[in-house]
Copies of this chain bind each other. A is one copy, B any other.
C-alpha cells in the first residue's frame, strides 16, 4: 500500500459502521467566511440551526448558496464577484472537512499545484496534477540547453561592468572556460589577479538585474564549476540557471500562465521531470479513481 492508501484505510476504519441503530441526525450546519472564521461561526451557528425538513429553503437564503447558476448567467456582470466569494468561502459543518470549490484557474491554495483534466498518451481519461515549479524548471532547462547548444544564448551587455573577485580555484575555472561560459551568456574579462570584469549576463536573468542577484549567481556558478571540467558541470549550471529563473511554488498563476506552461511543457523532450529529476505532472485515470472509490475492483 502507498501512503495514500494507508491513510484512507485508517480513515475508513473510523467510519465503517453503517448500522441502522447508529443513526442520530446531525442537523447543525455552519457557514463561514474565509476571513475572520471565529466570529462568523458563532454568528451563523445561531442563525443557521437547520431542521432536516427545512434544509433546502433555509440554505438557499445564505450568502453561500444565494448564487444560482442560472441567475448568474443572466445577470452576468456580477459573476466575477460572486464566483470569487463562492470559491473563497468554506462550507463548514461539524466534524467534516472545510470544503470549497477549487479556484477558477485550478491552482490549489498552496499555489504549488494546478489541477487539470485530459487524456494521457495511452488514451486514458483522467485528471492531472501539475507541479508549477518543476514544470517551469523543465521548460527553462530545455530552452537554455537548446540556446547553449545552438550558441543562441542571449547575452545582454551591462552598462556598468562589474568587478568580480573570485577564489584561486574559481579563477582557473573561469579562465579555462571563458568561451564556454560566454555561450551561457556571461561575458568575463580577466582584470588581473583573482578579479574579473563581467561585461555581459544572460538575457534570461531579466532586463534590469539586481546587482546582488548577479553576484549571487556568479558565485553559485563558479562554485559549481571549481575543480571540475566545464563539460562535467555545464548541465548543472544550466539546471541552476533554469531553476533560478523559474516560476516557484507560491507564485500565483493566471489562466494565461497555466496555458503557457502546458504548451511549453508539451514541447519539451523530457516533459515529465524537472531539471533535478522531480516529476512535473501526475496522472490519475478515471479507472484509478473508480478503484479508489470502489466502483470497480
Binary contact readout A130-158 vs B (1 if CB under 8 angstroms, 0 otherwise) = 01001000000011011001001000000
Asked if B291 contacts A3 (CB within 8 A), the reply is yes
Residues of B within 8 A of A258 (CB): 101
8 A Cβ contacts from A58-101 to B? 59, 64-65, 67-70, 73, 76-77, 79-80, 86, 90-101
Cβ-defined partner of A15 (8 Å) among B53, B272, B292, B293: B272
Interface check A263, CB cutoff 8 A: yes
* Proximity string of chain A (4-21) to chain B, C-beta cutoff 8 Å, 1 when within and 0 when not: 110110011011111010
| Interface of chain A, main secondary structure | mixed
Contact of A267 among B28, B269, B283, B293 (CB under 8 A): B28
Interface residue from B67, B103, B116, B269 paired with A256 (Cβ < 8 Å): B67
Chain B residues contacting A65 (CB-CB under 8 Å) are: 256, 259-260, 263
A contact residues, range = 35 or more
Contacts of A29 in B (CB 8 A): 263, 266-267
Binding site for B on A (CB under 8 A): 1-5, 7-8, 11-12, 14-18, 20, 22-29, 52-53, 55-56, 59, 64-65, 67-70, 73, 76-77, 79-80, 86, 90-106, 108-110, 112-113, 115-121, 125, 127-129, 131, 134, 142-143, 145-146, 149, 152, 234-235, 249, 254-256, 258-260, 262-273, 275, 277-279, 281-284, 286, 288-295
Sample (6) of A-B pairs whose CB atoms are under 8 Å apart:
A18-B277, A93-B263, A96-B266, A113-B293, A129-B293, A279-B293
